[in-house]
A = this chain, B = another copy of it.
């Protein structure tokens, strides 16, 4: 990173670019909320739940069977995803079905999958 620091020591700032970037920069509150959404997806189990719900609704028992986890562990993750607006649910009699909240979530997941198919990540 020595070259970065060198260029900064020159105090070289591209004023036009910075001004332009400032105009469209998201504010602190929006950044915090976005970080919360992405944070909800920063856990492998929650990512797999989103993957499972990508094309269909499922109940908590289905998800537990699918992922080989306890129902209470799945419920815990679903609660978090629901609080942050990534999944929604509806009841049919005694059964509660979960599905992705909207197309943006489907797209978020899909864009993420597409991204990792073209970069090599550490680990």
Binding site for B on A (CB under 8 A): 1, 3-8, 10-14, 17-18, 20-22, 24-26, 28, 30-39, 41-48, 51-52, 54-62, 64-66, 71-72, 75, 79, 83-85, 91, 94-96, 101-102, 104-105, 107-109, 111-116, 118-123
Contacts and interface: CB of A to CB of B under 8 A. Distances in A.
A6 B94 contact: yes
A61 B12 CA distance: 7
Nearest to A121: B33
B51 A94 contact: no
A32 B60 contact: no
Nearest to A67: B25
Contacts of A36: 42, 121, 123
